[in-house]
């Protein structure tokens, strides 16, 4: 069964004007997400993961941001060509986003029920539903029950500060899902939570994906989370996608040296690790990025060509793409 | 939506207002003064001069400049009018005037300020430069100029006060909006597809409301004070209508012979302004949902 592509990012180039110079935040980024698919976007801090998410939903502040080139095709519509007003209509019901910080992503002066009401009203308005037979109140409670919030009736009239981080994160997910978006961008939604809550939320999201049939771009720096939830993984480094593959394949056999490095950072019981193995070096300065492959200064396999010409993201297997001279026939 | 909004005002919130007030003696004093002030204002406005001990405008040449006594607790003025009746009779004037001015200023301030702060750019520039023009003048002088240009009357004084009073509200609203709009929940609201005006209405305004209301409640006292000053200077409430500032002006020549004549209306101004300030401080603690639990226990 061929699934339809819901969003297709093509050759996106984004720069930020800063006082120190131009920051090349996204460098020829291309990625496709199909209907009902969960794509994990992995990389170190500053790799451009969140920026890619914000670009898709059209929330990059312009200026200082500026798109040099590229398209974002969402259901046949080029989002780059839409006006602000038209973009507002896509957000929420078309594309929605869950942010990193559950603690600050809810309005502190509105009861959580009231905040979910907004998403439901918006969806009803856009879908032109006048009378669905259910009251908005019932739908709010239902949305909270969907994310397994106990005592939903009571929680709905609480303020965000009265809830724990995990509860707030679930409210955020309930909010995002109650507008039933076609694409959900989840920007590290579990990072600030403790591991048990994180596991519970991930399990919940897996169930919800099946129930609501939403495509998800799941941004994280944690391969463990990716293994839990994603069908496919894209690895980002310094504004480039360096590798893209089905989750199982990339975990079993990473191609790109950077992906290998990232996976080696994870302590492994089978390897009998006593010490952590951090990837040496840090992400390069994006104002003056290194010539050629941006990863070459940190790469054990760096060759002469790596510092001269930037490797392209090429197809190496039916579903795998990698941007490295160690692979493909560019050599 | 109704359900949540209605529930909001049931019980708990109103209860916490009283709880906080009753725990802090200063705010209790402030609250009592303000409550009495408005209670008198409503009673006098509704029932008229009948509820006063004497007709506040009735001249009695047989009993001028009387000392405080049981019959006239604040004495009588140079025309033999009962001072207590006149002090009370001016309360509804000050109460309604200050409420109208504060409501108009809040409305203008919140609308213009949140729009300026949220959109920024040229809209912000235009609104804020307009505000700066007003703020560049000393408030009392500008009010005085507008009020006297319009002609001395109660309504003109209200117009003059509003024209001058709104500008700091725009500044506060804009300032708070600037910090509120950087919050992630605003970005989250944008990500969930809300339009700019909806975000301002649903997410910005509720969040800038509490500092605005605190400032406004502190400010009511100053409006009463300024209205008294304007009346004192002759551009506000016109005789024979009783008004504290006007009464102080009329009676100031008796300060050394019959001291109580200017002192009582002056004291009325002082107590009222003090009451509003004490209450304003307490309101700040109550209106912020994050400090409410701590303060209210």
Q: How far is A239 from chain B (nearest CA, A)?
A: 22
> Chain-centre distance of CA B144, in angstroms?
18
Distance (Å) of CA A89 to CA A7, A163, A228, B182, B204: 16, 31, 32, 22, 20
Q: Which residue among B188, B202, B290 places its CB closest to the CB of A161?
A: B290
Give the closest of B184, B195, B202 to A104, CB-based: B184
* CA-only gyration radius of chain B, Å: 22
Q: Do the Cβ atoms of B222 and B277 come closer than 8 Å?
A: no
Q: In the prediction, which pLDDT does B151 show?
A: 87
Compute the nearest-CA separation of A101 from chain B (Å). 8
Q: Is the pLDDT of residue A206 over 50?
A: yes
Q: Are strands A65-74 and A38-42 parallel, antiparallel or unpaired?
A: unpaired
Q: Which residues of A touch B3 (CB under 8 A)?
A: 137
Where is pLDDT greater, at B177 or A211? B177
Are the C-beta atoms of residues A58 and A35 closer than 8 Å to each other?
Answer: no
The domain segmentation of chain B, as residue ranges, is 82-296
Instruction: Determine contact, residues A96/B193, Cβ cutoff 8 Å.
Output: yes
Q: What is the CA radius of gyration of chain A?
A: 21
Measured CA to CA, the distance from residue A80 to residue A74 in angstroms comes to 10
**Structure token pair of residue A34:** 């199909």
pLDDT at B292: 53
Helix (H) or strand (E) holding B148: helix B139-150
Reference B247, options B267, B274, B219; nearest CA is B267
Class of domain B82-296: mainly alpha
CB atoms within 10 A of CB B197: 10
Does A132 score more than 70 pLDDT?
A: no
ipTM for the complex? 0.75
Residue of B nearest to A116 (CA): B1
What whole-number distance in Å separates Cα of residue B166 and Cα of residue B109? 6
Among B8, B183, B189, whose Cβ lies nearest the Cβ of A104? B183
pLDDT attached to residue B16: 62
Candidate from A145-154, B28-37, B221-230, B279-288 with smallest mean pLDDT? B279-288
pLDDT value for A62: 78
Best of A94, A97, A109, A139 to mutate (most B CBs within 10 Å, chain B): A109
Determine the pLDDT at residue B117. Answer: 93
Subunit contact A113:B207, Cβ cutoff 8 A: no
Nearest CA in chain B to A172: B188
Residue B195 and residue A179: Cβ atoms within 8 Å? Answer: no
- As a whole number, mean pLDDT of residues A139-150 equals 82
Higher pLDDT, B116 or A312: B116
pLDDT of residue B69: 85
According to DSSP, residue A301 is labeled T
pLDDT: which is higher, B283 or B91:
B91
* Best CA proximity match to A183, nearest among A80, A53, A285: A53
How large is the average pLDDT for residues A75-95? 82
Average per-residue pLDDT in chain B?
Answer: 84
User: Who has greater pLDDT, A324 or B93?
Assistant: B93
Residue with tokens 């293994």: A227
Interface touch A92/B187, C-beta < 8 Å: no
Per-residue model confidence as pLDDT tens digits over A11-21:
888 888 888 87
> In this predicted structure, which of A1-10, A37-46, A242-251, B182-191 has the lowest mean pLDDT?
A1-10
DSSP label at A222? -
Check whether A197 has a pLDDT greater than 50. Answer: yes
B188 with A99: Cβ contact below 8 A: yes
In a 3-state reduction of DSSP, which class is residue B134? helix
Q: Is the predicted pLDDT of residue B280 greater than 60, yes or no? A: yes
Answer whether A202's CB lies under 8 Å from A190's CB. Answer: yes
pLDDT at site B5: 43
> When comparing pLDDT for A44 and B146, which is higher?
B146
Mutation for testing the B interface, residue in A60, A110, A177, A182 having most B CBs under 10 Å:
A110
DSSP one-letter code for A238: T
3-state secondary structure of B48: helix
Mutate to test the interface with A, among B192, B205, B296 (most CBs of A within 10 A): B192
| Type and span of the H or E element at B256 | none
| pLDDT, mean of residues A33-49 | 84
Tell which of B9, B10, B182, B188 to mutate to test the A interface (max A CBs under 10 Å). Answer: B188
pLDDT at A281 over 80: no
Predicted pLDDT of residue B8: 44
Which positions in chain A have a beta carbon within 8 angstroms of at least one beta carbon in chain B?
57, 59, 85, 88-101, 104-111, 113-114, 117-119, 121-122, 136-137, 156-157, 159, 161, 172, 175-176, 179, 185
Residue A19 burial by Cβ neighbours in a 10 Å radius (0-12, 13-18, 19+): exposed
Domains of chain A: residue spans and CATH: 5-89+183-191+214-322 (3.40.50.300)
Task: Name the 3-class secondary structure at A23.
Answer: strand
Residues 6+ apart with CB under 8 A from A12: A26, A28, A29, A30, A52, A55, A67, A69, A70, A71, A72
Contacts of B184 in chain A (CB under 8 A): 99-101, 104-105
Taking the C-alpha atoms of residue B241 and residue B154, their distance in angstroms, rounded to an integer, is 10
Residues in chain A closer than 8 A to B8 (CB atoms): 111
Chain B residues at the A interface, defined by Cβ less than 8 Å, are: 1, 3-5, 7-8, 183-185, 187-196, 202-203, 206-207, 209-210, 289-290
Of these ranges, A278-287, B47-56, B101-110, B273-282, the one predicted with the greatest mean pLDDT is B101-110
Q: What is the rounded average pLDDT of the residues B28-55?
A: 89
B10 confidence band (pLDDT: 50, 70, 90): very low
The whole-number average pLDDT for the span A18-44 is 85
Cα dihedral sign, B18-B20-B25-B28: negative
User: Distance between CA A3 and CA A219 in Å, rounded?
Assistant: 22
The arithmetic mean of pLDDT across residues B104-121, rounded, is: 94
Listed residue (A193, A140, A142, A136) closest to A164, CA to CA: A193
What does DSSP assign to residue B234? Answer: T
Confidence at residue A302, expressed as pLDDT on a 0 to 100 scale: 76
- Say what percent of chain A tops pLDDT 90: 0
Say yes or no to pLDDT of B6 above 70: no
DSSP A73-142: EETTEEGGGS-HHHHHHHBTTTEEEE-S-TTTSS-TTS-HHHHHHHHHHHHHHHHT-S--SS-HHHHHHH
For residue A104, list chain B residues with Cβ-Cβ distance below 8 A. Answer: 183-185
Q: Is the distance from CB of B117 to CB of B175 less than 8 angstroms?
A: yes
C-beta neighbour count of A292 within 10 angstroms: 19
Record: contact A92-B194, CB cut-off 8 A = yes
Contact between A111 and A156 under an 8 Å Cβ cutoff? The reply is yes
Q: Determine the pLDDT at residue A329.
A: 57
Nearest to A99 among B1, B5, B184 (CB): B184
Cβ distance of A97 and B191 shorter than 8 Å: yes
CA dist., res. A191 & res. B254, Å (int): 75
**Sequence-separated (6 or more) residues with CB below 8 Å from residue B297:** B19, B23
Tell me: pLDDT of A317 over 50. Answer: yes
Average pLDDT over residues A61-79: 83
What is the mean pLDDT of the segment spanning B202-212?
87
The Cα B131–Cα B170 span in angstroms is 7
Q: How does pLDDT run across B58-95, given as a tens digit for each residue?
A: 888 888 888 888 888 888 888 888 899 999 999 999 99
Is residue B278's pLDDT more than 90? no
State the sign of the Cα–Cα–Cα–Cα dihedral A52, A56, A60, A66.
positive
Who among B194, B210, B289 is closest to A159 (CB)? B289
At residue B177 the predicted structure's pLDDT band, cuts being 50, 70 and 90, is very high
Q: How many residues does chain A have?
A: 331
């Amino acid at each position: 069964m061929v699934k339809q592509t819901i969003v297709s990012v093509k050759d996106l180039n984004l720069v930020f004007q800063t006082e120190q110079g131009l920051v090349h935040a996204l460098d020829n980024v291309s990625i496709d997400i199909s209907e009902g698919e969960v794509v994990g976007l992995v990389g170190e801090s500053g790799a451009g993961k969140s920026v890619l998410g914000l670009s898709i939903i059209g929330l990059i502040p312009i200026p200082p941001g500026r798109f040099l080139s590229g398209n974002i095709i969402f259901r046949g519509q080029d989002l780059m060509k839409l006006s602000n007003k038209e973009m507002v209509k896509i957000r929420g019901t078309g594309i929605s986003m869950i942010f990193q910080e559950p603690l600050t992503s809810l309005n502190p002066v509105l009861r959580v029920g009231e905040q979910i009401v907004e998403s439901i009203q918006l969806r009803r308005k856009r879908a032109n539903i006048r009378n669905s037979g259910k009251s908005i109140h019932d739908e709010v409670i239902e949305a909270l029950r969907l994310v397994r919030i106990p005592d939903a009736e009571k929680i709905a009239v609480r303020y965000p500060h009265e809830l724990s981080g995990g509860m707030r994160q679930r409210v955020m997910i309930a909010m995002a899902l109650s507008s039933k978006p076609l694409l959900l961008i989840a920007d590290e939604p579990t990072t600030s939570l403790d591991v048990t809550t994180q596991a519970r939320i991930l399990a919940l999201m897996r169930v919800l994906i099946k129930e609501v049939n939403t495509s998800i771009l799941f941004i994280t720096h944690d391969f463990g989370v990716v293994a839990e939830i994603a069908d496919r993984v894209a690895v980002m480094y310094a504004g480039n996608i360096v590798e893209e593959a089905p989750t199982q394949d990339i975990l079993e056999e990473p191609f790109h040296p950077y992906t290998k490095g990232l996976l080696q950072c994870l302590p492994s019981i089978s390897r009998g690790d006593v010490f952590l193995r951090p990837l040496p070096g840090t992400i390069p300065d994006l104002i003056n990025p290194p010539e050629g492959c941006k990863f070459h200064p940190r790469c054990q396999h760096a060759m002469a060509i790596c510092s001269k010409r930037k490797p392209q993201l090429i197809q190496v297997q039916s579903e795998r793409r990698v941007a490295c001279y160690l692979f493909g026939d560019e050599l | 939506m109704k359900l949540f909004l209605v529930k909001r005002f049931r019980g708990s919130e109103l209860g916490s207002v009283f709880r906080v007030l009753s725990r802090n003696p200063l705010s209790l004093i402030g609250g009592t003064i303000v409550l009495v002030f408005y209670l008198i204002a409503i009673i006098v406005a509704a029932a008229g001069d009948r509820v006063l001990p004497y007709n506040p405008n009735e001249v009695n040449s047989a009993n001028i400049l009387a000392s405080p006594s049981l019959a006239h607790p604040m004495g009588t003025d140079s025309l033999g009018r009962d001072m207590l009746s006149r002090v009370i009779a001016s309360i509804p004037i000050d109460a309604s005037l200050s409420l109208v001015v504060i409501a108009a200023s809040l409305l203008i301030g919140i609308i213009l300020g949140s729009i300026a702060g949220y959109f920024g750019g040229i809209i912000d520039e235009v609104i804020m430069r307009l505000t700066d023009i007003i703020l560049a003048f000393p408030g009392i002088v500008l009010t005085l100029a507008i009020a006297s240009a319009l002609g001395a009357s109660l309504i003109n004084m209200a117009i003059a006060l509003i024209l001058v009073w709104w500008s700091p509200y725009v500044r506060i609203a804009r300032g708070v909006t600037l910090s509120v709009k950087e919050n992630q929940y605003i970005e989250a609201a944008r990500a969930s597809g809300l339009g700019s005006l909806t975000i301002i209405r649903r997410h910005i305004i509720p969040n800038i409301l509490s500092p605005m209301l605190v400032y406004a409640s502190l400010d009511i006292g100053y409006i009463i004070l300024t209205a008294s000053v304007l009346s004192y200077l002759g551009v506000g409430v016109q005789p024979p209508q009783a008004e504290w500032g006007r009464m102080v002006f009329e009676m100031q020549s008796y300060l050394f012979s019959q001291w109580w004549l200017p002192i009582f209306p002056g004291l009325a101004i002082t107590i009222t302004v003090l009451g509003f300030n004490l209450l304003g401080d307490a309101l700040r603690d109550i209106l912020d949902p994050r400090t409410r639990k701590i303060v209210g226990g």
